[in-house]
Amino acid sequence: MKDTVIFSLTRSKGLTKEICDYLHLSEGQIDVQHFADGEILVQPEQSVRGKKIFIIQSTCKPVSESIMEILICIDACKRGSAQEINVITPYYGYARQDRKSKPRQPISAKLVADLLQAAGTNRVVTLDLHATQIQGFFDIPSDDLTAGPMLGQYFKHKNLQDVVVVSPDHGGTVRARRLANILDAPLAIIDKRRPKPNVAVAANVLGDVSGKNVIVVDDICDTAGSLIAACELLKEKGAKDIYCSITHGVFSGPALERIENSVITEFVVTNTIENPELEKMKKIKILSVAPLIAELIRAIVANNPVSYIYDIYEL
C-alpha cells in the first residue's frame, strides 16, 4: 500500500477518514477551493507521480458541484503523472436518469459516465446503483458494490421473529429478495403507482404481512413520501414493527421529519451520504460502509478478486 494515495473531496470527508483509519494509511493532502464566481480548484498538495490514486466522493447535493470536483481532481492527478486513478463514488448522482422514459429526455447517468472516462479515470466504484445496467455505460473497469450483506448481518443479529422482507415497488424485488435469502424470510411486494416524480401512491400489498415484523428494503430514500405511504399501508394490513433498510439517504425537504413522525420503528441507513442531522434522529441507525470500501481498495491494490471483500460479513 506504500504507493497508494487516498484523497477525500468535500462530500465524503468522514467516510474517507474511517477508510484511512481502517487501512492504517494517512489521508492524502489535497486543497479544494470554491471561488466567488463558482469556479472550483482542486490541487493535490503532495506528489502523485507513479501512485495509485483513490478519489472518494459521493455525488450528492449539490450534485453538479460534487461531480465537477471529481473531474477536476482526476485532471490534476492525470497531469501529475499518477499511475492509476480510481474514483469511488459511494452514491452515484443522476443514477435515476438511466433511460428515456419520455421523448427528448437525456440519459444523464450515461453522460456522467462519459465525463468520468473523458477526464481520465481508470476505474469507477459505486455502491448499490439505482439500476445495475449503468455499469454498462462504462468502457473501463467498474465495480458496483452492495451494502446488502452488511445490512443483512445487522438484521440477522437483531434476532427478529416472524420477519417478512418487503420491496416498496416491483423494480426493487431483486434487491429485497437478496435480503430475504440472507434472513431466510418470505418476500412481499407493494404495488405502487408513480404519477409524477417524487410522488407515489401505494395501492396494495402482494404477500402476507399480518402479524409480521416487516423490513422494507430500498436503495434510495429521497423525500420519504412514498416510503412513509408504503409503511402506513403495511400497518393497515396488520404489520407489527416496521423497519427500513436503505443504502443511500438523500433526505430531501421534509424527509427526516416525516421519518421521525412515522409508524417506522427503526430506519437503518448507511453513510454513503454524510448528513450531520442524522445523529440527532431517534429512529435512524447509521451503518458505515468504510470497512467494505477499505477492503475493496486493498483488493484493487493487491490485484485480488473483489468478491472476497464480502467475507468480512459473517452471515
pLDDT digits (tens, 9 = 90+) for 243-292: 999 999 999 999 999 999 999 999 999 999 999 999 899 999 999 999 99
Helix (H), strand (E) at residue 183: helix 173-183
Amino acid 191: pLDDT: 84
Q: What is the mean pLDDT of residues 192-220?
A: 80
- Position 199 pLDDT exceeds 70: no
The single residue listed with the C-alpha cell 434472513 is 183
Q: What is the DSSP string of 234-299?
A: HHHTT--SEEEEEEEE---TTHHHHHHTSS-SEEEEESSS--GGGGG-SSEEEE--HHHHHHHHHH
Amino acid 152: pLDDT: 94
Q: What is the mean pLDDT of residues 304-312?
A: 88
Mean pLDDT (the chain, rounded): 93
Alpha-carbon distance 65 to 82, whole Å? 23
pLDDT tens, position by position, 172-196:
899 999 999 999 999 999 986 666 6
- Sequence length of the chain is 315
Q: What is the mean pLDDT of residues 18-35?
A: 97
- Domains of the chain, by residue range, sit at 4-146+290-312, 148-287
pLDDT band at 32 (very low <50, low <70, confident <90, very high): very high
Helix (H), strand (E) at residue 185: none
Helix (H), strand (E) at residue 11: none
Amino acid 172: pLDDT: 87
301 and 4 Cβ atoms separated by less than 8 Å: yes
91 and 58 Cβ atoms separated by less than 8 Å: yes
Q: Which CATH architecture has domain 4-146+290-312?
A: 3-Layer(aba) Sandwich (3.40)
The single residue listed with the C-alpha cell 445487522 is 154
pLDDT tens, position by position, 116-175:
999 999 999 999 999 889 999 999 999 999 999 999 999 999 999 999 999 998 888 999
Amino acid 204: pLDDT: 85
Same fold, 4-146+290-312 and 148-287: yes
pLDDT tens, position by position, 75-122:
999 999 999 999 999 999 999 999 998 999 999 999 999 999 999 999
CATH code for the domain defined by 148-287: 3.40.50.2020
Amino acid 195: pLDDT: 61
Alpha-carbon distance 192 to 245, whole Å? 18
Selected catalytic residue, list 192, 235, 280, 283: 192
Question: Catalytic residue at 192?
Answer: yes
